Structure 1
Amino acid sequence: MQSEERAMRIGELMTKNLETIEAGEPIRAAALRMRTCNIGSLPVLEGGQLVGMLTDRDIAVRSAALGQDPNTTPVREVMTATVITCDVDATLEVAEQVMEEKMVRRLVVVDGERRPVGLLSLDDLATVPEEVLHAGEVLERLQQV
């Protein structure tokens, strides 16, 4: 791994054009945004602060399966309240460790005030030559769960 002072930071690799949704918006709006943007998850905000994560699976399992009205059910009722985050200035090595420990494939990247500023995925890590081996090992362990 690179020395600490030369190590690549999460902010250099993360996806910066982060799509988000407000907690009070209806599930239908979230599903339409996911479809339009071809994404499977949306960080959920309330007053600019990160309060949860909504995935396409949340919509299918927690909402549709229970017969909730997608036009009136707010995102906050089906989102996952626990969001795994990483600081924008942390190293890629730290991101790998967090992904492995928390058994997640993506991290919401936050600034010093916990405002989401990007997203980092295991796929992103695999694009960095010195990280390829590590990302593959993390993915292998995640698939065993």
Structure 2
Amino acid sequence: MTPQPHTIGDDQTLALARERMHDHGVRHLPVLHGGYLVGVLSSRDIALVEALPGVDITEVTVDEAMSEEPWTVEANANLSWVAETMAARRIGTAIIVEGEGSDQILGVFTTTDALLALAKLAEGLATE
């Protein structure tokens, strides 16, 4: 999990979002509106919009490209359940929150994080 993730407002431009992702080495940004979680934006979302003919990402706002209703899980959620659910639902990102229904974002858990957890587990099994 990436703790204390960077976020972006839904009224910001995709150009700013791409810059923020680049500057912080991340591929996902939780999207806020008035301090409340309203979506998640991925670098893939930006790339898809950017590939459209005649689109200028300095004029497109985050809310036009984000995925609404991001999947949130509590910090104490079972890792195997989270990974299994992400795989079954083909979800690339889980937003980790303080508690059920909370907008207090604690982190972002991605498929890359899941693969790192699997690698650590496999390494542990190989040394036994």
Normalising by structure 1, we get a TM-score of 0.70
Q: Provide the rounded CA distance (Å) in 2 between the counterparts of 1:129 and 1:115.
A: 27
Q: 1:56-77 CA deviation, whole Å, 9 max, x = no partner?
A: 1211212441433322321101
Partner amino acid, structure 1, of 2:110:
S
- Percent of residue pairs identical: 29
Q: Provide the rounded CA distance (Å) in 2 between the counterparts of 1:105 and 1:61.
A: 16
Q: Secondary structure at the match of 2:68?
A: coil
Instruction: Supply the RMSD in Å over aligned alpha carbons.
Output: 2.3
In the alignment, is the contact (CA less than 8 A) between 2:28 and 2:41 conserved in 1? Answer: yes
Distance 1:33 1:130, change over 3 A: closer
Gaps of at least 5 residues in structure 1 are 1-13, 134-145
Q: Provide the rounded CA distance (Å) in 2 between the counterparts of 1:68 and 1:41.
A: 21
Partner amino acid, structure 2, of 1:106:
T
Normalising by structure 2, we get a TM-score of 0.78
Gaps of at least 5 residues in structure 2 are 123-128
Structure 1 segment 24-103 matched on structure 2, within 5 A: 24-103=11-90
Distance 1:78 1:105, change over 3 A: closer
Which residue matches 2:105? 116
Q: Provide the rounded CA distance (Å) in 2 between the counterparts of 1:121 and 1:69.
A: 28
- How many equivalent residue pairs? 120
